[in-house]
Structures are given as structure tokens and as C-alpha cells.
Amino acid sequence: MMKQTFWSIVLLLSFTACSQQEGIQDIAPENNQSEILFTSQVIGSNQTRASGMAWTANDSIGVYMKKNGEVLSTASIIDGAENRLYATTEGDGNFHPIGTGISFPKDGTAVDFIAYYPQKRLTNTFNYPIDITDQTDPESLDLMYSDNLTAITPRSNALNLSFSHQLSHLMFTIKSNTAEGLGDVTLKLSGVKTKGNFDLRNGQLTVDDQSGGMVHTTYVTTGTMAIAKAILIPESSIEPIKLIIEAGGKKREYTLPLSELKKGTLYHYNVNLSNSDNPGEVDPEAHYLKWRETPIITENVLEDQDLMYVNNYMPNAMRDPVSGGSMRNYSMLYSKKHRIAYWVAYPLFKACIGGSGRTDAWAYDPTIPSQYQANLKSGFGGKYDRGHQIPSGDRTCDKATNRTTFYYSNMTPQIGQGLNQTIWASLENKVRSWMNETDTVFVVTGAIPPKTSVNYIKEMAIPAYYFKVLARKVNGGFTTIGFRFNNQVYSGTNYMNYAVSVKELENETGFTFFPSINETIKATLDKSKWN
């Protein structure tokens, strides 16, 4: 049940020049007597973390075919095509009938389609009952709805169902500063509505106001950290919801700062458990530009006077055809004190690579005041290179774009011979080759200074280690990998010897990478998918 995609979002962008594509294959019926096949996509806002882009094998949907322009009803359904079972047997989003399929009317008249996920037998064929009490399998609760296919005829080019999420999602990152870690932990939510009804005729959800109760979240633990998730029923006005955590023999309660629950939105909170009688604090996810590659940023991070969340956009007035704004280039979390970016996140796609070559246009980043940047015009000298976090080679579509990779904010003092010029460069080249096998590789590169005894050169902190985490789609599903290198000399260029799971780097750095990708995927290290 969408096991690979619970926290995914869709950025369906079709760019030119430095552009990004995540393609959908179109399948059209051959003639008006053929069983209809569907492709699919899950739409969402770049301001939401709601789930659901890639499918899992045998995910199923229910499909209705009705008269064009009429409300879904017994009278408007054509040829008995109600709640027909379709499945994506390969998990690629291409849906085929299981049992009796749907065909266009013989007279070729236009029709509308309505579909929902996950398919089930309905007592009332137009009413989908919602009950979130049992969160054992959250994906099976993740109701999605599609009504975009209207006035369709056998001549229509593609039958692509656009699904949108109808429920709300919560995710909690629970961290403990106790030596013994979390131990046995339970996480519950009280004060939530647990039941409702979704009307497939008009896409309206009605909450059962008498169904207030408590739900147990699903969670995974890794020593001192737990990731908990729940699906809730959206409401425009809610009573206070409490998160109840029992861990280490203590019970802690947190009132969540929520006044409403919006459909298709994920609300993320960091919860730091204290070792004292103080229950700790809840740190909500902040409002910021959320792309697939962007690590989670909390309100405490944005309020930290040392840190800056910075976005650099594509120059030359290139526009995002969806939003109409400038297209993203890369973003970073920058420390004014250490004068380095803790991470730089960006998408890598074929149109980013061209013939501009290196510009070596060393300059201050115009998005950060120059007094918080090291002047690296003449470099560091000695054993340290001006190590790029987003490589120059990842932005060679034109000279203006390449210049943005030479901002001082993108540099760190990185060991040259034996790291930056050898094994690290080999990894960067390999990342570009992985890009050729998919639409987009999502990349986060980071530099972490020592926790104590930080050394500086030209007022810039010398990182203790570097990391790189990657995500890409393979056969319709996401796979991830991470790499970690101390800032030291390495012999050889076999970067795969230093591959780790993304989850391992999350635990070490404290950052949450690729929040829209399933936790199990991030915890899995499958080198075979990256060879």
C-alpha cells in the first residue's frame, strides 16, 4: 500500500534550458472497444510534505465512469462502471483492470472518470467511510481522490488520473539526550476525531464530531531517536491535540500548536526529550520553500541568529513554467559564525549540464552579507582547496549559472590531494553519470565542523567531515544512498567503501534528509542500485 511513498510529494515540472522533468508514460486506448488503461500522478504543493508520488506493486484504485457533466449517481453511471478495481501490478503508476474493465461507450460520447485510492468494497457505492483509529498500516488509510478526467472520448490522447490527498499527516522526530536512549517508547495522540465520511460524488469530507478519541502512532526507533507518523482527519477548526510520549519510565505530554488540519499537508515536529523532570520542547517545522531535496528546517533553526536559510535561483530570467517564478538552483543552511554552509541541496538533471566549462568567477554570494563570508579570492594556500559543495561541473548549462557555484558561501577548506582532487572528485563525476539514468538526482552535500576545538583558516571553520546524500527514482520507486568522508587524505578513489545509509547520516548530523521519502528506503543501503 504505497509502502515506498508515504511521505512523498510531487513536483511535476517540465523545464526548458536548465530544466527538470519527472516523466509520466502515457497509455491511450487503441479504439473505442478496448478496455481503458490509466496512467497516474499524485499532485501536491511544494509547500506540503504530504505523501504519495511513486506507487508500490499491486496498489489498487476504484474507478467510476459517468456521463459527462453529470453528478455521479446510479443514473449517471455508464455500462455499470462503478468502483471497478484497477491495479498497478508493476508499481509504475500504470493501472490495468483486475477482472472486468471499463470500455468507452460504443457511440463514442464523452464521459467523465472518478477514482479513489485505496480501493475497497463499499456498502454505499458513493460513500467512502474513514476510520483512522488503527494506524498499524498508515498507507491503507491514505485516502486520495481524482476527478480531473472530464469530457473524455476515445480520441483523447492520454487518460492520466491526477490524485490528491484528502487527509492530513503528522510526523514527529523524537530525540533523547539520555545516555540510555529512548528504550521502550509509546506515542499516542489524544483529542483527535477518528471517523468521517468521504463523498465520492463531490469530493467532500464530513467529520463525525462524536468520534473523538486517541490513536497510537506508528514509529521506528534507532537508539536515541524515534520517527513517529499518523494520519488524521482534516478540520478547519480543532480542539487542542496532545502528543503523549512514554519513554524511559517517564510520561510526557505536549500540546501541539495546531488550530486546524489541512488536507494533503504534513505537519512535522521535532521533540527533544530532556533528562530532567522538564518534559523538553516541541519544535515545529517552519514555513519555508520545501523541495524534494530540502532537509527539514524547524522554527528553532530559522530563529537561530547564527543560521541563514538561503536560496539561489537560476539566472538569465529562466522561469518555472508551473509557478511562473525563477527556477531553483540550490539552497543552503549557512552559519555566519563558521562561514560555511552546513548543507547545500539541489536537483541535478540533464539540462544543467552543458558546455560552459568552469568560469572560476570567485565572488561573494549576493544573498548573504559579505561581512559573514570569507574572502577566498586567493584561496587558502597550503593543503586546503576551495572545495565546492555544489560542484562547478553540476552547473555548466551556461556561464551565468556556473558562476553561482563559485560563491564563497559554497566553499569550504577541504583537503586537496587525497580528497577533493581524487576520491571526492570521482564521486562527483559518478553522481553526474547517475543523473543520466533517471530524470533527476536529488543531492545534499554537507560540511560539519568539530563539536569542540574548531580550527579556522581565513575566518572559515575547517570541517571535521563531509557527507553527500542522494535520492533518485529507479523503476518507478525511490532509492537513496549516502557517503561520509573525514577531512583527511585518502588513498585510492573507491568511494563505495565509504557508502552509508541516509538514515545513518541523519542520526549523525541531526538533519532530516528527503522527508518526502519513506523511512525504510532511507534506512536501506543497496549499493547494487548505484553501481
Q: Report residue 432's pLDDT band, with 50, 70 and 90 as the boundaries.
A: very high
Query: How far is the C-alpha of 364 from the C-alpha of 189, rounded, in Å?
Result: 48
pLDDT on residue 275: 61
* pLDDT tens per residue, range 476-485: 789 999 999 9
CB neighbour class for 92 (10 Å; exposed up to 12, middle 13-18, buried from 19): middle
Q: Are strands 477-486 and 499-500 parallel, antiparallel or unpaired?
A: antiparallel
User: H or E element: which one contains 401?
Assistant: helix 399-403
Cα 145-148-151 angle, rounded to 5 deg: 140
pLDDT on residue 188: 92
CATH of 168-284, one of 2.40.50.100, 3.40.50.970, 2.60.40.2630, 3.30.70.360: 2.60.40.2630
276 vs 198: which has the higher pLDDT? 198
Q: Report residue 178's pLDDT band, with 50, 70 and 90 as the boundaries.
A: low
Q: Does the structure show a pLDDT above 70 at 7? A: no
CATH T-level assignment (fold) for domain 39-165: Immunoglobulin-like (2.60.40)
31 vs 129: which has the higher pLDDT? 129
Q: Does the structure show a pLDDT above 60 at 111? A: yes
Would you say the CATH fold of 299-530 matches that of 168-284? no
Position 271, amino acid: V
pLDDT on residue 193: 95
Q: Which of 257, 278, 187, 168 is nearest to 227 (CA)?
A: 187
157 vs 401: which has the higher pLDDT? 401
Q: Are strands 225-232 and 218-222 parallel, antiparallel or unpaired?
A: antiparallel
Q: Which residue has the cell 577566498?
A: 376
Q: Quote the pTM value.
A: 0.72
Mean pLDDT score of the chain: 86
pLDDT on residue 215: 93
Query: How far is the C-alpha of 415 from the C-alpha of 428, rounded, in Å?
Result: 15
Average of pLDDT values for 498-523? 91
pLDDT on residue 12: 28
Q: Which of 468, 456, 452 is nearest to 420 (CA)?
A: 468
Q: Does the structure show a pLDDT above 50 at 514? A: yes
User: Of 253-267, 373-387, 409-423, where does mean pLDDT reach its minimum?
Assistant: 253-267
Q: Does the structure show a pLDDT above 60 at 5? A: no
Query: How far is the C-alpha of 351 from the C-alpha of 314, rounded, in Å?
Result: 12
**70 Cβ contact partners less than 8 Å away, ≥ 6 residues apart:** 76, 112
Q: Which residue has the cell 476510520?
A: 131
Which residues share a beta bridge with 127?
199
Q: Report residue 289's pLDDT band, with 50, 70 and 90 as the boundaries.
A: confident
Q: Does the structure show a pLDDT above 50 at 52? A: no
Is residue 392 within 8 A of residue 406, CB to CB? The reply is: yes
Most confidently modeled of 50-59, 297-306, 383-392?
Answer: 383-392
User: Is residue 366 reached through a cis peptide bond, with omega within 30 degrees of 0 on the bond before it?
Assistant: no
Average of pLDDT values for 303-315? 93
Annotated domain spans of the chain: 39-165, 168-284, 299-530
CATH T-level assignment (fold) for domain 299-530: Extracellular Endonuclease; Chain A (3.40.570)
